[in-house]
Chain A
Amino acid sequence: MKDVTQLLAEQPLFSDLGNDMFALVAGCAHNEHFGADDYLFRIGDPADRFYLVRRGLVALELVRTGGSRLIVDTVSNGGIVGLSWLVPPYRWNLDARAVEATSAVSIDAGCLRRKCEDEPRIGYVLLQRVSSALYQRMQAARVRMADVYGVPSDE
């Protein structure tokens, strides 16, 4: 059975990280499993960790006016779940639900933030990598806002 260090090394976010940096991150990592429809976190809860999906699928959900739920994104193998741990007030602003049985490496956000503050060089490298994921998600949200599959202009 692989230990959490090996599992973390398989994650694209931390691939090719220097040994010293990788050891620091691994010290904050845990292996977790979720059953179908288990929640990884709920809106309003403290954003005290984030997840790197190893296997499975996680839905990010918002509650609409009237109470119905909407899946606005899903994250599968190699993806990152949770970005609110990066910025105050460190609270989740949506729900994350496992669509199917899901395994993920969780990273203790407080632990990682402390290490980044102590070692700004590491913090910069990690922030660059997380920013890349953030940027892709923002771009995807913008394109979907454009409703690209909607009815085009008249023929």
Chain B
Amino acid sequence: MSETAASMRFAIELESELGEPMLPRPFVVQQTKRETADTATLSLTALDGAPTSFAPGQFTVVGRPGWGEVPISISGDPAHPDHLEHTVRAVGDASRALVGARPGDTLLLRGPYGVGWDVADGVGGNVVIVAGGIGLAPLRPALLQILAHRPRYRRVFLVYGARAPHEMLFTRQLEHWRGRFDIEVAVTVDAATPEWRGHVGLVTSVLPRADLDPDETLALVCGPEIMMRITADALVTNGLPPDHIKVSLERSMKCGVGVCGHCQLRELFVCLDGPVFRYDRVAGLMTAREL
């Protein structure tokens, strides 16, 4: 039996057992782009040809047959639902298998799931996007959607922190965004050799200090939890109300549909109620022990 046929059969069996929400759809890898030594962006199209609409910040559960599945945020353009992009970092067996996928390979996807950034909340005001490491991937669809409707927003900032210059994602697109006059881009790294002509330090060191009206500013923050907490606290110190800050938790998700309980944070299921939350709703949970 071919890999694709086996995938289809697996999908049908799952549908009969668990119903539609758990039904994986086969997707074909059209293109892969190596972002860094351990991270790649996969461009996928559905085998059935149907588009996959998604909201920026949503995720799918992706697997390569035989290697298990992992929740991965969608990193592509929501204006192109026929063409799904995922930026994957090789961390374990399942994600390593995804990073190693080649054009023509079949992957199984469930979703999209979860609550996204809902960038409409920022319409009419300023938007500050703060990404750390691979956290730029879930924010990319939000930024693309904002740029597609740029006149609806006032000032737009992208602040991106990475471990080192060679570990930055979407470097060509970052250069493109830097060249635009309608978005202010600041990039910083944790350490660099003297050839680097940019900032070195935490993302908090390059947050916009300009005269932004806090009541008319929305901040979207994604990255490691410690980075999100420090960033959100710095934004609050600068006057931004906590309910104007959104963070993406993405912790410990497995099933993606609120069944397995892996991602439960007290009364919240990250996969159902999130992964994007208002900071005022989760600030306490982000520092709570044993959650």
A68 contacts across to B, CB distance below 8 A: 193
Q: Within 8 Å CB of B193, what residues of A?
A: 68-71
For the complex, is A29 an interface residue (Cβ under 8 Å from B)?
A: no
Which listed residue, B70, B197, B200, B202, touches A72 by the CB 8 Å rule?
A: B200
Question: Closest Cβ of chain B: how far from A78's Cβ, in Å?
Answer: 7
Task: Check if A148 sits within 8 Å of B223, measured CB to CB.
Answer: yes
**Contact between chains at B200 and A143 (CB < 8 Å):** no
User: Would you list which residues of chain B between 132 and 177 have a CB under 8 Å from chain A?
Assistant: 132-134, 161-163, 167
Q: Chain A 139-155, CB within 8 Å of chain B: the 1/0 string?
A: 11001101111111111
Across-interface contacts of A61 in B (CB, < 8 A)? 194
Q: Which of B92, B198, B200 has the most CB of A within 10 A?
A: B200
**In whole angstroms, how far apart are the Cα atoms of A16 and B199 in the complex?**
28
Name A149's contact: one of B95, B161, B194 (CB within 8 Å): B161
Measured between beta carbons, the chain A residues less than 8 angstroms from B38 are 151
Within 8 A of A (CB), among B76-104: 89, 91-92, 94-95
Indicate with 1 or 0, residue by residue over A100-131, a CB within 8 angstroms of chain B CB atoms.
Answer: 10000000000000000000000000000000
| Min CB gap B205→A, angstroms | 7
Shortest C-beta distance, B287 to chain A (Å), equals: 14
Write the B49-79 contact mask toward A (1 if CB under 8 angstroms, else 0).
0000000000000000000001000000000
* Interface residue? B121 (CB, 8 A): no
CB <8 Å contact, A155 and B161: no
CB-based contact A143/B194 at 8 Å: no
Q: Are A149 and B197 in contact (CB under 8 A)?
A: no
Question: Count of B residues near A, CB < 8 Å?
Answer: 36
* A95 CA to B194 CA, complexed, in Å: 12
- Whether the pair A73, B94 counts as a contact (CB closer than 8 A) is no
If over half of B's interface residues share one DSSP class (helix, strand or loop), that class is named, otherwise mixed; here it is mixed
Q: Are B192 and A155 in contact (CB under 8 A)?
A: no
Chain A: minimal CB distance from B250 (Å): 11
Closest A residue to B204 by beta carbon equals: A140
Is there a chain B Cβ closer than 8 Å to A84's Cβ? no
Residue in A79, A99, A136, A148 whose beta carbon sits within 8 Å of that of B224 in the complex: A148
Q: What bracket does the count of chain A residues touching chain B fall in?
A: 20 to 34
Bound Cα distance A154, B68 (Å): 13
Residue of B132, B200, B209 near A148 (CB, 8 A) is B132
Q: Known: A146-B226, A148-B132. Contact between A72 and B191, CB under 8 A?
A: yes
Tell yes or no: A47 within 8 A of B by CB.
no
CB of A93 closer than 8 Å to a CB of B: no
- Map CB proximity to A onto B85-128 as digits: 1 under 8 Å, 0 otherwise: 00001011011000000000000000000000000000000000
List the interface of chain A (C-beta within 8 A of B). 57, 59-61, 68-74, 76, 78-79, 97, 99-100, 136, 139-140, 143-144, 146-155
- 26 inter-chain pairs at a CB distance below 8 angstroms, sorted by A residue, are A57-B198, A57-B199, A59-B194, A68-B193, A69-B194, A70-B193, A71-B191, A71-B193, A72-B200, A73-B201, A74-B205, A76-B205, A140-B201, A143-B226, A144-B190, A144-B191, A146-B226, A147-B190, A148-B223, A149-B162, A149-B223, A149-B227, A153-B91, A154-B92, A155-B92, A155-B95
